[in-house]
Structure 1
Amino acid sequence: MQTGLADFIRNTPEGDAADTLLRKCVHCGFCNATCPTYQLLGDELDGPRGRIYLMKQMLEGEVPADTVLPHLDRCLTCRNCESTCPSGVRYSELVDIGRAVAEQRAKRPLAQRAKRWLLREGLSRPAVFNTALALGRLAKPLLPAPLAAKVADARSAGAWPPVRHQRRMLVLAGCVQPALMPDVNAAAARVLDLLGISLVEIARAGCCGALRFHLNDQEGGRQDMRALIDAWWPAIERGDVEAIVMTASGCGSTVREYGHLLADDPLYAERAAKVAAMTRDLSEILAAERVQIEGLFAAGGTGRRPLAYHPPCSLQHGQQVRGHAEALLRAAGYDLKPVADSHLCCGSAGSYSLLQPALATTLRDNKLRSLQAEQPAGIASANVGCIAHLQTGTATPVRHWIEWLDQALNLGA
């Protein structure tokens, strides 16, 4: 499409990038067919095509940012539209630019600003989140049912094998996962240990930057990215580790884009690109060790519990990684049930379920109907946010797929 950007953004790095992305869109509308919010609301402005046109008008100075911002807020950034787009439009990059401009030029109500600040500061700081979660668990019997459902019960991490193998990989602890689901990384460490790989957490490695960045504090998000690179860099520079393992696909989707997100930073661009290139989802790591993995289960039983698998959007659309976790679960003997509309979002989307609860709850309930249609004994996924969000709507246990794999091997006992 043709563009004519306004003076406030013309000939800037953001303007040049937006101009290129906008011109690539042919306005065909195929993206709307797989957009969760368009399917729910039926509003052209709450689908990718409509949002792209709104951003174009805002960047051309024709539409005020206050009109655009609510529609961008309702976007899950699930990136399903990117998987569908025949023109290869990088919608997520465009919406990052659009959100940054809208946030600067719009007048967001005080209550919204306060809530978003609390989420940025609370969720991205493990010490703050851990304290809040501990207090929430104490007060859980007194909380309203919808809020109490979001307060996860305490879980044990289980044993973490000692670092003893020549092959070593870094793993991100993350912000909320250590408190909500401490067994995920421990289970990954136990499985990889059987394959002769030691998994290593760096204690001072903090948030990947996704939370702040996607709450429109993009510079704060980049500061978190730089801090994480600094924490990892000594081990990378010494050649101590061969890869960076992600057990939360939402974090993995962000870290794999560090090269793009920090491309204009002269101090960090090269290191960011290196970190991005070394990053792999856990399912990719184990898929590369497939022969050994299948050997572990060769003597195992069959007919294990039936499971339903939910591939997070950040994995299947963000990272374009598909099929590995499912194949590993089947190799472990699980009976994976078919799930309708597995390409659609569950409504978690980072902090989205807290900022857009009505839409998120509807998406969750739709997803759970599909996941539970064949009455599985459990549900598997690959991202802490999806798992926590889905669990609020069902008594069926929802676990990370590596926990189900760990259980099949009886490693956590």
Structure 2
Amino acid sequence: MPERPPVVPAGPVVPQTHRAAPSRSYLWAALLRCALYLGPLSVAAAAAEPLTRVAWPVPMATFLLGWAAAQALTCTGVSVARRAGPSAAARHVGLGFAGVAGLWCSLVWIAPPAVIGPDRGLALVIGLGGLGTLATVTAALVTRAEAAIVLWSLPCWALAGITLAEIKPVGTLLPAAIVIVVIRAFQPVVVPGRRARRPRLSPAELRRGGGYLVIGASQAICVGLVWQAGPSGSTAPFWLPLLLAVPILEALIGWHTRQVESGLDTAESGADYHRHVRGVTLITLTGLVPPFAVGVSLALAAYRLPAGLPGFADTQSGVLGLAGGTLLGGVFAITYLLAARSRTGIAATLAAAPPVATAALPFLPLPSSGPLPDAVAVLAATHLAGLLVIALTAQPADPPSQ
């Protein structure tokens, strides 16, 4: 099995060849990553007013480009950091996001006003701010600077609180806060020092990075599908279960990875190791079933609401939005868990299944209840398929050498 540094979920998690080395508690690592993800969320909350002045494809396209790039660059950046150090890894991430930023500028330049809104300059700034925020998260993961970036993101959290409390407009304070965090995240590149040569990625590493690119793009598209299918683009019902599930699922994936690695130290033989992995997988499956059960229950409850209920349509859509967010969180967890166990190709296929199936539904002779019910049904089917795939791939990709 290919070697890897300490676990970095939300990016690549690749099993290692040698016995598990001591590292930070997986619970602490999960909490730290969740705090790191609050940076982009706080920026989005603080930019609520400017976001209302651009068309919805602007934040959606920004998220699609940024999230896909973050997944691929985290995967390849971990390999670069392992071989050439944090400076080369930060430069690798910076060059990747610089290319994405150039692509965004080109898209804003050629896009019609109906797609980006009346203010082309504002759309450009919003996109660059979102990409910069996701770049800081990626750089923090590959350089192992998560705690520092969380601290430097506190001004963004404060601006989000000011915006939500409607105390006063944040104005140019938000762009300034983003720039400060970007500079800190790419400190290994900004501060003069010894420059390590960026190593050439191997074909296997490029394929793995391509798999994570597909995973990231597919996840962003799924978010857009459920978001836009909801009532009047409402985000509250959709985001709530997804946000609540992130810390739990991060801890579950971290526990699974740690337990599989610990089997390398405790197993007396290859057969013992396989039994250990199967037991860990069974416990993990038990933890992944509740999102599926809750999501399906919410979807069924949405269709059992009394038709005479005031605001019936909006209530039903809200409950379906909760179901979609719950199922989507489970699909995310299953995808990352498969990738963490070196099943990147399977994970990418599973992640791409909901967007592909949703695009194919209008051309199939099947009844349709609308975009949101169709999205929920596709996510439920994908979640169930993912549970079966994890159960069928319980054996480790490569047995440990004794």
With a CA cutoff of 8 Å and minimum separation of 6, indicate the structure with the bigger relative contact order.
2
Q: Is the pair's TM-score, using the shorter chain for normalization, greater than 0.5?
A: no
Q: Normalising by the residue count of structure 1, what TM-score does the alignment of the two structures yield?
A: 0.29
Q: Normalising by the residue count of structure 2, what TM-score does the alignment of the two structures yield?
A: 0.30
